[in-house]
Amino acid sequence: MLENKKYTFEDFTPGTVFHLGPYPVSAEEIIAFASEFDPQPMHLDEDAGKQSLLGGLAASGWHTCCMLMRMMIDSFVLDSASQGAPGVDFVQWKKPVLAGDILHGTSTVLSSRTLQSRPGLGLVQMRQEVFNQRDELVAASENPFFVLLRNKGGSA
């Protein structure tokens, strides 16, 4: 299994940066997501969005998280020996994500350690930043995730 993976624990050294995107955000996607999960007026209707603090048809904050996840998937997660995440330390929604925006971002390794309780497994701490096409920070998050070591006997 590991033979197929480009990135194992050993590759997630602190300071490593993975580039994310581009991810174009369409009005149709904003409305489809909101209709299913977050049907508030500013996520469903251009006029309601313009009248809100968000200033236009704006993606649900959870939609932004999901778009971030998709960008991480396409950048490195599917190429990695990731074993999933136990949660998210925080998400900050800094600016609205509006229909027509094109997102990009970075995932940066903050720290990593092997798990004495689980030989062969490591825990990596990541910070994500998402920007729009004007390079304005729209969202940031940090989370740990579990990843297999290539060398089970090794340590960081």
> Half-sphere exposure of 42 toward its Cβ, with a 13 Å CA cutoff?
15
90 sits near a second copy (criterion: CB under 8 A): yes
Q: Report if residue 66 touches a second copy, rule: CB under 8 A.
A: yes
Q: Which of 62, 75, 104, 150 binds a second copy (CB under 8 A)?
A: 62
Of 128, 132, 127, 136, nearest to 59 by C-alpha is 132
For a second copy, the closer of residues 71 and 112 by Cβ is 71
8 contacts: CB under 8 Å, gap ≥ 6: 2, 80, 81, 147, 148, 149, 150
Give the three-state DSSP class for 118. Answer: coil
**Count of residues interacting with a second copy (CB under 8 A):** 31
Candidate list 27, 44, 85, 156; residue touching a second copy; CB under 8 A: 85
- Site residues (vs a second copy, CB under 8 A): 36-40, 42, 53-54, 60-62, 65-67, 69-70, 73, 77-78, 82-93
